Chains A and B, each alone.
Chain A
Amino acid sequence: MKRFSLKYTLLTYRLDQLWFPLAFWAFFVILTLLLSNEEQDFNIARAYIGVAVPLIGGIMAAYAILDDPAIELRFATPIRAAQILFERTILIFIIQTVSALAFIVFALLIGVDFAPLGNALNLHLAWIVPTITMIALGIFGAILGAQTMIGSFLVGLVWIIEVIIRDGMAVNNWKYAYIFMGILTPEHPDLVSNQIALFAASATFLFFTWLLLHRQERYI
């Protein structure tokens, strides 16, 4: 891609965007090893990949574009809004992906059975869908409010609401907005519709983020 450099994209990322997910991953690995119980291991694994990883991704994404010290210089270059959006969020998604996959590998190695989550595709959709949704929500909220705080607030609020009233969310019309359905209620008959709805929501958030990014003056 023109006007893109993976080397500098990595070098210009804040260090905490790299060490914090790693530290969180390590914490959950240690926790799993300490508790060492078949049922607990499965619950911890799905809590990490399907609940914790989306939260980390979402809040990190809220800071992705606006927390850029050279934002004015970046806006003055001929980079398209789509590229800014892609460049600043792709690493966050990659880091969360690596974290989730690494944990799955670790869990499999210690004998965790992911069969309750369905086949391999369902297993991966169970964490990919909420992660993409939260990343999209985080970055949309931040760009909409022209403040990172709005994005992180939206992510935190949606996360805590959906975690606490998860049972209620699975049984009424809110189920299409239930981001943890794949990981917490994988046998739900409307799982596919739920995932399609969440993908659509994510795409909508990203589309509006792209549109709003054209109004660069809001962010400097």
Chain B
Amino acid sequence: MIQITNLTKTYGAGNKTVHALNGVDLQINSGMFGLLGPNGAGKTTFMRILAGIVNPSGGSIRVDGHDLTTEAGKHAVKSMLGYLPQELGMYTELSAEQFVDYMAILKGLDDSKKRNKRVSEVLEMVGLREVANRKIKGFSGGMKRRVGIAQALVNDPKILIVDEPTAGLDPEERIRFRNLLVNLAADRVVLLSTHIVEDIGQTCRDLAVLAKGRILFRGSPTDMLKATEGHVWSLTMSGLEKPNHDLTVVSMLHLAEGTQYRLVGASAEGYSSAQLTQPGLEDAYVWLMKQSQEEVMLS
């Protein structure tokens, strides 16, 4: 469905050149695909290229056979695309229904009867049917995000791109969002870009980890966990000293007997009381980032 070969995006020139994307190769098929990475990894740039808003500096990117480096290709892809950007700007003086209706018109749904029906459907899908006539400026953050997803769905897109959709949402809203996205992924490509590991873990069977414009990992969450086995420990220490020996502290909890640390690293040789623990996805992410930093230092 989406074929990406050696995708690059560069900003600036000379000493100030930033390689936002540096030779990304990916093939994404139907279903839920997660793109994980730290801030500044290039996720939003990648999403914007897929949405046809940003032009790549090099490489090729084809969506359902259409070449995104050409105007005709971009136009064709935008017709089958639903996009929820990270910074969601909306016309807050419009009601939810009006806004989604307007976006439907911009996406080419000219038949007013079909469009009205579709707008109702998507608002129902995101649980905003009852407040459809309320102005967006009166909505909470979560509700605004839901309006965002509604406008992304209104043209029944083959590809749905959601960039950091759960940032700033409360846990209940995040769960609702994740479930909605998984439902939608049954019959289309859903690309979820996030730095929240849990969102990926709960929804995606296929993911890539992006850092400094490069793909560090490509596979399933299970593969990522397998690669981390043997590198996660639990350690309780008393006193003020913190674990070192090139171990990353993923979490710490103050207990009566001392502080319990969850550690990720190559080895916990220096700590005889450290106990190997089953890795979680967050641990896997930290281990991956650690390895990539070490590779950079060695090179």
Residues of B within 8 A of A28 (CB): none
A23 at the interface (CB under 8 A from B): no
* A72: nearest chain-B partner, CB-CB: B85
Q: Are A2 and B103 in contact (CB under 8 A)?
A: no
CA distance A155 to B103 in the complex (A): 32
Residue of A nearest to B148 (CB): A73
Complex: A8 Cα to B100 Cα, angstroms: 11
Of B53, B85, B94, the contact of A216 (CB 8 Å cutoff): B53
B75 touches A73 (CB 8 A): no
Q: Are B102 and A12 in contact (CB under 8 A)?
A: yes
How far, in angstroms, from A119 to B130 measured CA to CA in the complex?
59
The B-contacting residues of A in range 47-79, CB under 8 angstroms, are 68-79
Question: What mask results when residues 30 to 50 of chain B are scored 1 for a CB within 8 Å of chain A, else 0?
Answer: 000000000000000000100
> Is A174's CB within 8 Å of the partner chain B?
no
Interface digits, A11-25 against B, CB 8 Å rule (1 contact, 0 not)? Answer: 110000000000000
Contact A76 B52 (CB under 8 A): yes
In the bound complex, do residue B85 and residue A69 qualify as a contact, i.e. CB atoms below 8 Å apart?
A: no
Chain A residues closer than 8 Å to B107, beta-carbon distance = 3, 77-78
Q: How far is the CA of A220 from the CA of B11 in the complex (A)?
A: 14
Given that A73-B83, A73-B89, A217-B48 are contacting pairs, would A79 and B106 also be in contact in the complex, using a CB cutoff of 8 Å? Answer: yes
What B residues does A71 contact at CB under 8 A? Answer: 89
Contact of B7 with A by CB under 8 A: no
| Chain B residues, CB < 8 A from A215 | 55
CB distance from B80 to the nearest CB of A (A): 9
Q: Contact: A76 with B75, CB < 8 Å?
A: no
Q: Choose from A2, A8, A72, A79 the contact partner of B87 (Cβ within 8 Å).
A: A72
Contact A12 B91 (CB under 8 A): yes
Q: Does B181 contact A (CB under 8 A)?
A: no
Find chain A residues with CB under 8 A from B81 CB. Answer: 76
Cβ-defined contact, B89 with A70, below 8 A: yes
Report Cα–Cα, A135/B9, bound state, in Å. Answer: 34
B241 at the interface (CB under 8 A from A): no
Partner of A76 from B78, B90, B93, B101 at Cβ < 8 Å: B78
A217–B55 CB distance below 8 A: yes
Measured between beta carbons, the chain B residues less than 8 angstroms from A4 are 105
The contact of A3 among B51, B55, B108, by CB within 8 Å, is: B108
B110 proximal to A (CB < 8 A): yes
Q: How far is the CA of A216 from the CA of B51 in the complex (A)?
A: 11
CB of A172 closer than 8 Å to a CB of B: no
Contact of B53 among A8, A11, A72 (CB under 8 A): A72
Q: Is B269 an interface residue (CB 8 A)?
A: no
Task: Collect the chain A residues with CB atoms within 8 Å of residue B54's CB.
Answer: 216-217
- The yes or no answer to B260 lying at the interface (CB within 8 A) is no
Q: Which residues 143-164 of B sit at the A interface, judged by CB distance below 8 A?
A: 151
Cα(A220)–Cα(B76), bound, Å: 21
Our pick among A72, A77, A78 for the contact of B89 (Cβ within 8 Å) is A72
CA distance A4 to B104 in the complex (A): 10
Q: Is B79 an interface residue (CB 8 A)?
A: yes
Query: What is the CA–CA distance of A11 and B136 in the complex, to the nearest angstrom?
Result: 13
Cβ of B85 and Cβ of A76 under 8 Å apart? yes
The interface residues of chain A lying within 8 Å CB-to-CB of B93 are: 11-12
Q: Please measure, in the bound complex, the distance between the C-alpha atom of A22 and the C-alpha atom of B155, giving whole angstroms.
A: 38
Q: How far is the CB of A216 from chain B (nearest CB, A)?
A: 5
CA distance A70 to B106 in the complex (A): 12
Report if A5 contacts B (CB, 8 A). yes
10 nearest A-B pairs in the assembled complex, by CB-CB distance: A69-B89, A78-B78, A76-B83, A217-B54, A8-B102, A77-B106, A78-B79, A76-B51, A72-B85, A5-B105
Q: List 26 A-B contacts (CB under 8 A).
A: A2-B108, A5-B102, A8-B105, A68-B89, A69-B89, A69-B91, A69-B92, A70-B91, A72-B87, A72-B89, A73-B88, A74-B106, A76-B78, A76-B81, A77-B78, A77-B103, A77-B106, A77-B107, A78-B76, A78-B78, A78-B79, A79-B106, A80-B75, A214-B71, A216-B53, A217-B55
A→B interface (CB under 8 Å): 2-5, 8, 11-12, 68-80, 214-217, 220
Known contacts A3-B110, A76-B85, A216-B54; 9 additional CB pairs below 8 A are: A3-B107, A5-B102, A70-B91, A73-B85, A75-B53, A78-B78, A78-B79, A78-B108, A217-B54
